[in-house]
């Protein structure tokens, strides 16, 4: 006979990423974007169409509240960075990789994929790096 398990209460208001963690990720992603030599427009596209004014405030150190979508994007970007650091012992090669055409992306660069703006594009790059690293 089947027996129903006790249900776990959902906590939709519980943050998955703390405000301090999100702000630290913003600072790290801004440095990462500098290494990747992204324009502000490319960076804002990768961040889901972040407003120019908001991005300028971030660069000035005024980060503010990070919503769930942005926290997820920041987390994916940290995973991409981690994957590149595992694949390339020379950090500069990893930073350059994001601009190079890649057959796995139909000849497009990772930056071209990520600037599509949707969160799935970031996940695609991260998944590819994780799969390549694990092979």
Measured in Å, how far apart are the chain's first and last C-alpha atoms? 43
Q: Average pLDDT of 24-43?
A: 96
Q: What is the pLDDT of residues 64-82, one digit of tens each?
A: 888 889 999 999 999 999 9
In terms of phi and psi (left: phi > 0; alpha: psi -120 to 50; beta: otherwise), the region of 48 is: left
Q: Where do the domains of the chain lie?
A: 19-134
Alpha helices in the chain (DSSP H): 19-36, 40-46, 52-59, 68-87, 91-97, 110-114, 119-134
Q: Lowest mean pLDDT of 24-28, 54-58, 64-68, 115-119, name the range.
A: 64-68
| 14 band by pLDDT with thresholds 50, 70 and 90 | low
The better pLDDT of the pair 125, 63 is held by: 125
Q: What is the pTM of this model?
A: 0.84
């Amino acid at each position: 006979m089947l027996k129903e398990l006790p249900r776990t209460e959902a906590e939709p208001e519980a943050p998955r990423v703390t405000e301090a963690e999100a702000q630290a990720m913003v600072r790290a992603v801004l440095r990462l974007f500098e290494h990747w030599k992204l324009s502000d427009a490319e960076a804002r596209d990768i961040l889901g169409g972040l407003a120019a004014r908001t991005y300028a405030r971030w660069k000035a150190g005024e980060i503010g509240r990070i919503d769930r979508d942005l926290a997820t994007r920041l987390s994916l970007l940290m995973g991409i960075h981690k994957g590149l650091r595992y694949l390339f012992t020379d950090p500069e090669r990893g930073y350059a990789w994001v601009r190079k055409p890649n057959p796995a992306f139909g000849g497009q660069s990772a930056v071209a994929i990520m600037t599509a703006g949707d969160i799935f594009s970031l996940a695609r790059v991260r998944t590819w790096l994780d799969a390549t690293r694990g092979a």
